[in-house]
Structure 1
């Protein structure tokens, strides 16, 4: 865990409310190694948590009001625990906070007055799930403050997902919240997004995870993300299936002439990505970086050509890194698309060469050097205090 998020939340709480918080909850962001846009299609994903996240400091307050301050934004909000969404400001962070409280209340959990301070260090607009880490940290903080003992980590993840779907307006799947809540240090998390079963996949100790921000900021809720979800749903209805997870590639190909081209290509990405993700979990568990790299390359090509969610700077960055890494490892765009980051898996011996290549040959659209993050798989959400 990067230490500044928890310490910043604690310091902001003390400065703003005048006393120490009763609890500090922390939840990490994530990077998805492979399995993009499969989660809301009941498919498979392979993310891991990263060493950046969001911390929520919380303490008691008399009455019904929940007072919240976002330390990194110098912004404040106050709302009733009985009606969290009433008169909600048109600010995304407040929708996340109020939405989480509303989902818990609608699920039968009792909330009352509280003070909260929030701080995070997940790069914004990078596709590293700053929003999911916020939702999960909020859920864990509210659980601790109000003694919501029946609220398990999977339930917190589901509540955070519902808050994004219903109150923020992003039709995200469960992957981001579930890995933030349930990740294990040193392991990726293979997730079946239908059953919510998880399987930790050990990452060899001599393997590095490199994340590079393209410098193209993405706005998920305002992007074409929801359009892609609708296109997937169109094909699901065509087959009278529960989800695209239930449609086989041969079945899809046989119906190609009866499905509009755009919808067909969207579905082909999802169907083939599910197969790649399962194969990648197996390859990673064996330490087979050559096979992992081949699958990651196929995944990126599919996102570029069939799902059409990459952008030119991202494609250029992927090609540059793959050239530096060679056949023992891989790189692909990660996240919802339309900008954000790429993720590479590579031997530690190749790390310095890969970083040097990016610094030498890539600049963001505004001409600056990109944000480069070397990380290991981190643990999931936890109480600091």
Structure 2
């Protein structure tokens, strides 16, 4: 089924903050999730937020928040796929925003520059569906779903207010490769 985004575009904004996933921060998050999974007795992909809450007292605060991010992100991903299939870009954008909040607050893999870009992007308002950090975190890029007619104004807004010197990549969604029957 083709992706229908109308005139919406994807804006990738590179903060130029370099991240090093080998520093141990990411492995600490994986260990916290693994410990939470052992306590819950199921893989986090099979756990519910209700199960997590039922074991709250057995988990450290860090284990709880890391697991909460993973479990809720799985739910958001399913809801986002459904929103895209329904052509509901507003709902999809809301889920992007919620994802960033969870990555920032529960998984703690954002950084001040990413948070600043997300806040500035959302403050632009009209035409911005949603935005979030992307990748492993601790730096890198944001990805934003924005109405094509709002792109120029958003770029001016970010250039005027963001403290860093970002690089912008505008992506025009298109159908991917597909097989075509050739009639001879």
Give TM-score scaled by structure 1 length.
Answer: 0.44
1:320 aligned partner: 120
1:240 aligned partner: 41
Give TM-score scaled by structure 2 length.
Answer: 0.88
Paired with 1:363 and 1:319, the residues of 2 have a C-alpha distance of: 12
C-alpha deviation, 1:327, in angstroms: 6.8
C-alpha deviation, 1:350, in angstroms: 1.1
1:224 aligned partner: 25
Distance 1:224 1:377, change over 3 A: farther
- Provide structure 2 residue ranges, at least 5 long, that are not aligned to the other structure: 178-184
2:159 counterpart SS class: helix
Structure 1 residue runs of 4+, over 3 Å off?
A: 325-328, 377-380
Q: Is the 8 A contact 1:215 1:370 kept in 2?
A: yes
**Higher strand residue share:** 1
Cα distance per residue 1:302-349 (max 9 Å; x no partner): 111111111111101101011224475000111111011011001111
1:267 aligned partner: 67
Paired with 1:319 and 1:328, the residues of 2 have a C-alpha distance of: 12
Count matched residues.
Answer: 176
The one of 370, 374, 379 aligned to 2:166: 370
1:284 aligned partner: 84
Q: Is the 8 A contact 1:310 1:333 kept in 2?
A: yes
The structure showing larger relative contact order (alpha-carbon pairs under 8 Å, at least 6 residues apart) is: 2
Cα distance per residue 1:186-226 (max 9 Å; x no partner): xxxxxxxxxxxxxx661424110001011211122335112
- 1:158-237 equivalent positions in 2, closer than 5 A: 202-237=3-38
* Aligned Cα root-mean-square deviation (Å): 1.8
Paired with 1:222 and 1:359, the residues of 2 have a C-alpha distance of: 31
Paired with 1:278 and 1:254, the residues of 2 have a C-alpha distance of: 23
- Provide structure 1 residue ranges, at least 5 long, that are not aligned to the other structure: 1-199, 381-385
**Higher helix residue share:** 2
The one of 107, 129, 132 aligned to 1:307: 107
